Amino acid sequence: MKHTPFNDIHVALGAKMAEFAGYNMPISYTGINDEHAAVRNSVGIFDVSHMGEFIVKGEGALDLIQRVTSNDASKLTNGKAQYSCLPNETGGIVDDLLVYCVEQNKVYMLVVNASNIEKDWNWMMKHNTAHVEMHNISDKTALLAIQGPNAVKAMQKLTDMDLINLQYYTFCKGTFAGLENVLISATGYTGAGGVEIYFEGNDEQAAMVWNKIMEAGAEFNIKPCGLGCRDTLRLEMGFCLYGNDIDDTTNPIEAGLGWITKFTKDFTNRAAIEKTKTDGPVHKLVGFEMIDKGIPRHDYSIKTADGVQIGKVTSGTQSPSLGKAIGMGYVAKSNASLDAEIYIEVREKLLKAIVVKIPFYTN
C-alpha cells in the first residue's frame, strides 16, 4: 500500500486510516460531521496527494487533449483550468479530470482520479499517435485542498501571490510557505470555496507546509479532514464521484455533464454522444431527498410505488448540513422530473423520496 508524504502526520493525529485507491488514507479524525461543519463554516485541510497528475507539453499537446477530452481546451489561456472528462469508445467515461493551462498551446497539467491513474495514462498513450511529450508526475506531487469560507484568508498569509482575487477555476504559481514553484488553484470538491495546492517536495518539506498551513489557519480553527466528509460535502453539491455516479458505462449526457461536452470539435465517440443529446437520454442522473426515514446507499434499487424498478442509487448519505437523507441515482427519463415521487428499496421496504434540483445545499 502506498503512502502520501503526510502519512506520519495523519497517524500522529490519530486519524482513522483505510486503504483507498491503493493508498493508506485518512477517513476521519474527529468525526465526519465535525469535519464537515468545519469546512462549511470556516476551513479544513485535506490531504489528496493520492490524485494523479500528468504533464502534456510541446507541439501537439493541445491537439491531443482536444481529441481525448469532451470539453474545449482551446478556450483555456495561461492560468485557467476547466473540468472535463475522457469519453470512451462506447459512450461511457474513462474518467473525469481537471485540465490546467500552464502555457497556452504548449504545456498542460491533467489531474485525474487516484483509482484511474494507470488506466488514464494508458488511454492517453493509446491516443498519443503524434508522440506528444508526456510525464506522469503523480508520485512526486503533493496535493493539499484547503477548503471553506476562510480558506483563502488563511492561505494568503503564506504567499505574496494574490489569492484573495483568484477567480474560480484559475490558478497561479509562485512561492508558498517557503517553497518555490507551488501551483495554487481556486478549485475544490466541496462547494465551500478555497484552494488546492500542488507542490513537489520530500516528506520533511511536506510536513513543513502542513504545519505552516495549520498555524496560518489556527485563528479560524482549521481542522484536518478525511475522505469521509469529502464525500458528504461533494454529495451535498451534487458533484459526481467516479466509480459511483459515473463510470465506463455512463454517458456524459445522461450524467448531466452536457455542459462539459462541446460538439464544436471532434473527440472520442463524439457522434454517439451527440446522438444521445439530440434524441434525449433514456436514463438521467437525478438528485432526491428522502421523505420516509432511511438512508439510501450505493446500488439500492429505485422503484415506482407499485414496485417496478426504474433505476439504482449511485450515491447517498445523511446530509450533515441539511439534516436529511439525500442521494443521486439514474432513473428512467419519465421518472426524472422535479418533484416526481420515487421509492428507494431499503431492507425490502419501499421508502418514499422526491426528485429535487441539485445542488442540494446552497450557501
CA distances from 98 to 45, 261, 302 (A): 20, 14, 31
pLDDT of residue 363: 79
- Could you tell me if 219 and 152 lie in one domain? yes
**Residue 335's Cα: distance from chain center in Å?**
27
pLDDT of residue 192: 98
Question: Of 121, 136, 151, which one is at a domain's C-terminal end?
Answer: 136
In 3D, which of 6, 242, 231 has the Cα closest to residue 141?
6
Name the pLDDT band for 298 (thresholds 50, 70, 90): very high
Average pLDDT on 233-256 reads: 97
User: Which residues, in sequence order, are CB contacts of 275 under 8 Å at separation 6+?
Assistant: none
Question: Of 105, 136, 167, which one is at a domain's C-terminal end?
Answer: 136
Would 247 be classed as within a structural domain?
no
- Could you tell me if 16 and 156 lie in one domain? yes
Task: Return the number of other C-beta atoms located less than 10 Å from residue 337's C-beta.
Answer: 11
Would 1 be classed as within a structural domain?
no
- Could you tell me if 43 and 176 lie in one domain? yes
Q: What are phi and psi of 347, to 5 degrees?
A: 50, 50
- Could you tell me if 225 and 91 lie in one domain? no
In 3D, which of 186, 188, 189, 184 has the Cα closest to residue 174?
184
Q: Which helix (H) or strand (E) holds 92?
A: none
- Could you tell me if 78 and 164 lie in one domain? no
- Could you tell me if 299 and 159 lie in one domain? no
How far apart (Å, rounded) are the C-alpha atoms in residues 80 and 334?
Answer: 38
pLDDT digits (tens, 9 = 90+) for 166-219: 999 999 999 999 999 999 999 999 999 999 999 998 999 999 999 999 999 999
- Could you tell me if 59 and 161 lie in one domain? no
HSE-up of residue 358 (Cα within 13 Å, Cβ side): 22
Q: Do residues 302 and 314 touch, judged by C-beta distance below 8 A? A: no
Task: Return the number of other C-beta atoms located less than 10 Å from residue 180's C-beta.
Answer: 10
What's 164's DSSP letter?
A: T
Would 274 be classed as within a structural domain?
no
Would 68 be classed as within a structural domain?
yes
**Amino acid letter for position 228:** G
For residue 292, the enclosing domain spans 282-356
Tell me what the pLDDT averaged over the chain comes to.
97
| Residue 147, pLDDT above cutoff 90 | yes
| Residue 223, pLDDT above cutoff 90 | yes
Q: Do residues 247 and 239 touch, judged by C-beta distance below 8 A? A: no
CA distances from 244 to 59, 227, 294 (A): 36, 15, 20
- Could you tell me if 20 and 163 lie in one domain? yes
Q: What are phi and psi of 122, to 5 degrees?
A: -65, -35
Question: Of 206, 236, 266, which one is at a domain's C-terminal end?
Answer: 236
- Could you tell me if 67 and 95 lie in one domain? yes
**Overall domain count for the chain:** 3
β-bridge partners, 179: 176
Name the pLDDT band for 143 (thresholds 50, 70, 90): very high
- Could you tell me if 168 and 25 lie in one domain? yes
